Amino acid sequence: MQSALADRASTNMGRELALSLQPSTDAKRVQVMLEQVEDALFGASLHLGGITDVRGLVTKLEASLTVTGSELLEIAYTLDSAMTLKRGIAQHSLGALLEVANGIGQHVVLTRSILSALGRDGAVLDEASPKLRQLRRRLAPLRSTIRDRLTSIMDRAGEALQERLITLRRDRYVIPVKSSFENQVSGIVVDSSASNQTVFIEPASVVPLNNELARVLIEEEQEVTRILLELAHLVHDEPGLRSTLAAVAELDLIGAKAALSREWGLSRASAAPSGDFELRGLKHPLIADCVPNDVALNAERRVLLITGPNMGGKTVTMKSLGLAVLMHQSGLFVSASSAKLPIVTDVLVDMGDEQSIVENLSTYAAHLRNLSDILEKANPSTLMLIDELGSGTDPSEGASLAQAILEQLLTQGARGIVTSHLAPLKVFAFERTDIQNASMGFSVADLRPTYKLNVGQPGRSYALAIAQRLGLSSAILSRAETILGPQGATVEKLLENLERERETLERDAELARTAREQSELEAKEWRGKLEQIKAEQAALLTAAQAKADAVYREAMEQVRQLKARVLETDTARPQVLNELRELRVSAQAARPELSAVQREPDALKPGAQVEVPAYGTTGTILEVRGGDEVLVQMGLLKVTLKRRDVKLKKQNGIKRGSSGGGYVAPRTFAKELNLRGSHVEEAIEEIRNFIAEAQALRETPIRILHGKGEGVLRRVVRDYLKSDKRVESFHDAQPFEGGHGVTVAHIR
């Protein structure tokens, strides 16, 4: 595990921390480490680009040894990248990484001094000092003068030249002359070719110029050395350099933990102060396609006794638990879908073959030495993992000793997993309440294990069943059963019957689950149809009511006209009264009254969604005032409106007659908003509306389902909740209610 962690570190500093990582027994420290990993997964991004391990260079400087420009540049780049990392953490951290990042000091002056004095290749720049700039400005014209003079000499030398070329020999500018013409060119012979056919002569007129060039180059070298030494002293005297490198190393380790959690699909275990172990979907992270199992240890069931055939997964299950505990206490997430783990003071292990010829120990003696050590240290705060208890000696004596050891361990309050093949231990576990039988599944038909842990079911050896399956003669099998004796055969038969009954119960349970799911689907379908029928019925009743109202109003208009005729002339009075009576009777007959059950209650009530045409938007009714006014929340605005100025917002595609001013009662408020699969902009808009509606209806708390994934939606949700003043507080849901995939918000 340490090696896998080291492979994901970015620097040698982080790799060293990973390889030396040890579990902690400090519960607070463990929680801090887990918070840091979660911060690296869902908050700040720990990219350590540009950071290298410069501890050796710092040590070299502390010993007053000189360093090159490239080495100083490496230190500056590392410190600059470390400060960039600190700024990124300050902007995006959820909080846990801030304390570690604060260990990175402010090295702005040092990095600027180095980067302004050195080029990308580590060479000292002209601008590093005024003197260096002046010296280098003298070099170019001096070299140009030397070349011009040598060119003039070569023009006069003619055939004495071996080649028309100006070159450097021993840091002096010279020209190549044929050996036979050496005396024709006045000057100093500086060097010769390997064949002695060419001599390199520094002409006498160039000697003073070369001397001047040499002096300037010496001064330049001295100035460059002085600048590098000055920068080295700055690094040597820089405060907080070691703490910066230590903080970077720790952040590198945290980043490696986060990368391991992401790549392996690990989950954060929650604390179990009661000392209980509860792991769902536990797997061994280093085994490909490992079958997940559920493991639980508590005050009532402190020890799990796993029995069954070899190669069935007993040891893997035991190692998976031990590894999960050690990973948890090392600040790592664990390989389980969910987990609750306590902090243990020690993991006591007896596993594998530890025989030693050198120490004159047999396998059995080595086991006894380990068991003696476990008995000495076991207590309620330790976890014991004992493989093949009682093996390596006579089965009867081994079983007796194993039972005595188990009794003592249980008396000391120890918790853990024990594996064995001994049948008496199965009976012992069956008779006690503080130890529970378990077995690993095995398919006799396929002659292969299923690696599935069956808690409450002791394991069979399957020796005779496998032998029969492989075709061993019936005579040998019969003789083996005779030797086994009636008691042994009875136990195996009992286990076989129990296993068969368990398989039957599992099949029945699966059928029951399938039937329940089918029933729920059908019930949902029928509820949908019923709602549709009710909606259609309501629409028909509304249309009928509207039509009746129209007929009634038409009749009333005719009544008004008839009354007007009566007022105009007295002679028409008897005839008009007659017509009026007939019209009233027919109008009343044409307007059927709805029964009390059919009449729809007023839906303009608190919580109803309405359209406000005057404002061109929608809102939520907060309060009904009197019989004619409503208080409506439109975004951040609360407005008192007349009932006639609002219209109930149409929902579920149900339409009402326009003349009746129909509406549909608002749906029941759902306290959970599902954002999975939403884009960022959509998610923010949905959260804003969701919170507004919850506040209007005084509903709190609310749940926002965003899932785990890469943590993008989770960050979006939390960033918005921080900025919304209507939100009083928010936190993760309980692990069994969604954990990090759900945020619970409390509305003011």
Question: Tell me, what's the pLDDT at 516?
Answer: 83
Edge-to-edge strand list for the sheet holding 647-648? 637-642, 629-634, 617-625, 609-612, 647-648
pLDDT higher at 681 or 209: 209
Question: Tell me, what's the pLDDT at 483?
Answer: 67
Least confident range of 42-51, 90-99, 420-429, 631-640: 631-640
- With a cut of 70, say whether residue 128 has pLDDT above it: yes
Residue 364 contacts residue 371 (beta carbons within 8 Å): no
What are the percentages of helix, strand and coil residues in the chain, rounded to 5?
50, 15, 30
3-state secondary structure of 440: strand
- With a cut of 50, say whether residue 145 has pLDDT above it: yes
In which band, very low, low, confident or very high, does the pLDDT at 502 lie, cut at 50, 70 and 90? low
- With a cut of 80, say whether residue 659 has pLDDT above it: no
- With a cut of 80, say whether residue 720 has pLDDT above it: yes
Q: pTM for the whole thing?
A: 0.62
* Nearest CA among 445, 443, 394, 439 for reference residue 418: 439
Mean pLDDT, the chain, whole residue set: 83
Least confident range of 31-45, 133-147, 411-425, 456-470: 456-470
Residues 666-685: pLDDT tens digits?
Answer: 445 678 888 877 777 778 88
Question: Tell me, what's the pLDDT at 52?
Answer: 92
- What does the pLDDT average to over 199-227? 92
Residues 264-292: pLDDT tens digits?
Answer: 999 999 999 778 999 999 999 998 889 99
Question: Tell me, what's the pLDDT at 485?
Answer: 60
- With a cut of 50, say whether residue 654 has pLDDT above it: no
Residue 24 contacts residue 329 (beta carbons within 8 Å): yes
Question: Tell me, what's the pLDDT at 599?
Answer: 40
- With a cut of 50, say whether residue 598 has pLDDT above it: no
Most confident of the ranges 325-329, 560-564, 726-730, 731-735: 325-329
3-state secondary structure of 448: strand
Length of the chain: 748
Strands 172-178 and 198-203: antiparallel
Question: Tell me, what's the pLDDT at 251?
Answer: 96
Question: Tell me, what's the pLDDT at 522?
Answer: 82
In which band, very low, low, confident or very high, does the pLDDT at 574 lie, cut at 50, 70 and 90? low
In which band, very low, low, confident or very high, does the pLDDT at 562 lie, cut at 50, 70 and 90? low
Helices (H) and strands (E) in the chain, counts: 19, 23
Share of the chain above pLDDT 70, in %: 83
Rounded alpha-carbon distances, angstroms, from residue 613 to 617, 619, 641: 7, 11, 11
Question: Tell me, what's the pLDDT at 635?
Answer: 72
Least confident range of 252-261, 353-362, 391-400, 420-429: 353-362
Question: Tell me, what's the pLDDT at 42?
Answer: 92
Share of the chain above pLDDT 90, in %: 38
Q: Considering Cα of 529, then 531, then 537, then 540, what sign does the dihedral take?
A: negative
Which residue has 């929650």 as its token pair? Answer: 270
DSSP string, 249-266: HHHHHHHHHHHHHHHHT-
- With a cut of 70, say whether residue 469 has pLDDT above it: no
159, with CB counted inside 10 A (0-12, 13-18, 19+), is: exposed
Angle of helix 27-42 relative to helix 241-264, nearest 10 degrees, comes to 70
d(C-alpha 79, C-alpha 90), whole Å: 17
Enter the tokens of residue 606. 């608190």
- What does the pLDDT average to over 558-570? 65
Plot region of 289 (φ>0 → left; ψ -120 to 50 → alpha; else → beta): left
- With a cut of 50, say whether residue 600 has pLDDT above it: no
